Amino acid sequence: MVQVVEIYNIMIKGYKPYNPNQIYLFPPAPQDWLPKEHLVYFISDLVDHLDLTVIHKVYEKGIKGQPPYHPVLMTKI
């Protein structure tokens, strides 16, 4: 009789990199295209102050697949 042993490779999953100040997407810097009073800055600041613990807990449970995008990035989108 052959005995089958399963080994689970469990790793803590992180997030894909997220840097709101990155300068290599559309323009050299997003601030070059948007005025200082633009609504996007208000939304960005608002989301930065939200409590996203519930979303983080859901992501922490998942161990399969690629790392997800950061919840702050997805909420801002």
Which pLDDT tens digits describe the chain residue by residue (77 residues)?
555 555 555 556 678 888 877 766 566 677 778 898 999 999 999 999 999 999 988 887 777 778 888 899 999 98
Q: Where does residue 44 rank: exposed (0-12), middle (13-18), buried (19+ CB within 10 A)?
A: middle
| pTM metric for this prediction | 0.56
Give the HSE-up count for residue 41: Cα atoms under 13 Å, Cβ half-sphere. 8
List of residues 6+ apart from 48 with CB closer than 8 A? 72
- Provide the pLDDT for residue 32: 79
- Provide the pLDDT for residue 10: 54
- Provide the pLDDT for residue 3: 53
